[in-house]
Amino acid sequence: MLVEFRVSNFRSIREELRLSLVANTDNEHSETHLICSGSKSTPSLLKSAVIYGANASGKSNIINALAFMKGVVAESATQIKEGQKFHFQPFKLDGISSSKPSEFEVTFIIDGIRYQYGFSLLSERITSEWLLVYKTSKPQIWFDRRYNSKIKEDEYTFSTFLVGEKKLWQKSTRSNALFLSKAVDLNSSALRPVFLWIVQQLNIIGAGEQPMIEFSTVLAQQPEGNKKLLDFLNAADFSISELSLEMRKTRELSLKIEGEKPPVHQVLDSEALMPVFLHKGAEGAAKFEIHDESTGTQRMFAFAGPILDVLQNGSVLIVDELDGSLHTKIVRFLLNVINSSISNTNGAQLIFTTHDTSIMDVKLFRRDQIWFVEKDQSHATHLYPLTDFRPRKNEALEKGYLVGRYGAIPFINDVMF
């Protein structure tokens, strides 16, 4: 379960931002919207959180920061080569931040144990990296890595709690690789759960993206999975009587590169299983292939597999612009699924950005689940919770937001074109 994410000096984010899923002491929706973490330090976590803000305020950069962190963890030891640079994206509007590292930290819980892992980097190297483990209220610093610019070397501090070939892992870690990733690549069983949680449990879907339909198609091949998909789609009122898979010819565009010859585009013919939906009406029935369905149905089918997966595995789904191509009622349905004590029994979490103010409803959210993003005069992004404004329990949140009570809205000039 995700506890907290911190980031600084990344794109429009200059000062440290903190997105927390730690529940406050309010008892509203406590039986449905909260997860028992199993950790004494953070006993209750939120199942969902929503982020509002004007266009270009930096909402997507928070999601991008999580994706960037995940990518560095996943690829730095195996995909990034010696001397290769990171896609360093600091805040560029103050003349100072460009020379400072970007920093990322994620805190999460596995089997009741809290882990706090983070790193900072410049374009050419990792500048610091750390892992704290809370088996009790006192942290165990499993490792701490700091770049010493005077001697131009990384300095490491290890705890006896971290078992394994620490010196070998340290020696094998390049300046542009994470110690965590390299140690796991060299079979560290102690650090593997941390690596796998970041790489496998954080499921991130960027703005304008949707999951590949293959994820749901694979699930549909099994009778039990097919039934779950059908039940899920019909619970959202898509009126599908039957879901089947049929082999269809497909074409893929590939790029062939041979030495110094000009690149050659190739069209490859292949076959793949594609979903087919049976709809029944008062006067008959008909089958529709996925490309014949509405954009909303296509998007919902693509989302169904990942949502069912996070519910089963208790992982985290992070979506930028969840309301894209989905009706407000469908978004409400997804929130009810995640926040339910019946359908979500394994601690799945949903974090998303949206412009849909109609779901800013105390019946759907606790007040500590709503966050806002806005930029200051220096165009730096700030993230803050609704609870900073101490709203009343029955406050009309949508109305308050639209009149500017909580900030994070665009200011439109009265100029006619």
| pLDDT number for residue 123 | 95
| pLDDT number for residue 202 | 96
* Region at 201 (left for phi over 0; alpha for psi -120 to 50; beta for the rest): alpha
| pLDDT number for residue 2 | 97
Whether the per-residue pLDDT at 268 is higher than 80: the answer is no
| pLDDT number for residue 235 | 87
Torsion of CA 207, 47, 382, 95, to 10 degrees: -60
Dmax over Cα atoms in the chain, in whole Å?
80
Q: 251: which strand partners? A: 269
State pLDDT tens for residues 193-211: 999 999 999 999 988 787 8
Q: Which domains does the chain have, with CATH numbers?
A: 1-209+320-417 (3.40.50.300)
| pLDDT number for residue 229 | 92
Task: Name the token pair of 100.
Answer: 């400072």
pTM, rounded to two decimals: 0.90
State pLDDT tens for residues 15-33: 999 999 999 999 999 999 9
Distance between CA atoms of 96 and 177, rounded to whole angstroms? 25
Asked whether the beta carbons of 387 and 372 are under 8 A apart, the reply is no
Distance between CA atoms of 49 and 316, rounded to whole angstroms? 11
Average pLDDT, the chain: 91
Distance between CA atoms of 276 and 279, rounded to whole angstroms? 10
Whether the per-residue pLDDT at 318 is higher than 80: the answer is yes
**Cβ within 8 Å of residue 7, ≥6 positions away:** 13, 16, 17, 62, 65, 66, 69, 102, 103, 104, 105
Whether the per-residue pLDDT at 77 is higher than 60: the answer is yes
State pLDDT tens for residues 151-168: 999 999 999 999 999 999
Residue with tokens 């089963």: 312
Q: How confident is the model at residue 263 (pLDDT cuts 50, 70, 90)?
A: low
| pLDDT number for residue 417 | 56
Low-confidence winner among 6-10, 43-47, 269-273 (lowest mean pLDDT): 269-273
What percentage of the chain exceeds 90 in pLDDT? 73
What is the side-by-side order of every strand in the sheet holding 153-158?
17-20, 2-8, 102-110, 113-121, 126-134, 140-148, 153-158
Q: How confident is the model at residue 262 (pLDDT cuts 50, 70, 90)?
A: low
| pLDDT number for residue 243 | 93
* Region at 240 (left for phi over 0; alpha for psi -120 to 50; beta for the rest): beta
Find, among 145, 50, 36, 67, the residue nearest to 368 by Cα: 50
Distance between CA atoms of 316 and 320, rounded to whole angstroms? 13
Whether the per-residue pLDDT at 326 is higher than 60: the answer is yes
| pLDDT number for residue 255 | 56
Task: Name the token pair of 175.
Answer: 């300046």
Average pLDDT over residues 270-278: 86
Whether the per-residue pLDDT at 264 is higher than 70: the answer is no
Whether the per-residue pLDDT at 144 is higher than 80: the answer is yes
Query: CB neighbours (10 Å) of residue 14?
Result: 23
State pLDDT tens for residues 220-250: 999 999 999 999 888 888 889 999 999 887 6
Residue with tokens 């980097």: 121
**Cβ within 8 Å of residue 81, ≥6 positions away:** none
Per-residue 3-state assignment (H helix, E strand, C coil) for the chain: CEEEEEEECECCECCCEEEECECCCCCCCCCCCEEECCCCCCCEEECEEEEEECCCCCHHHHHHHHHHHHHHHHHCCCCCCCCCCCCCCCCCCCCCHHHCCEEEEEEEEECCEEEEEEEEECCCCEEEEEEEEECCCCCEEEEEEEEECCCCEEEEEECCCCCCCHHHHHHHCCCCCCHHHHHHHCCCCCCHHHHHHHHHHEEEECCCCCCCHHHHHHHHCCHHHHHHHHHHHHHCCCCCCEEEEEEEEEEEEEEECCCCCCCEEEEEEEEEEEEEEEEEECCEEEEEEHHHCCHHHHHHHHHHHHHHHHHHHCCEEEECCCCCCCCHHHHHHHHHHHHCCCCCCCCCEEEEECCCHHHCCCCCCCHHHEEEEEECCCCCEEEEEHHHHCCCCCCCHHHHHHCCCCCCCCCCCCCCC
| pLDDT number for residue 295 | 82
| pLDDT number for residue 281 | 85
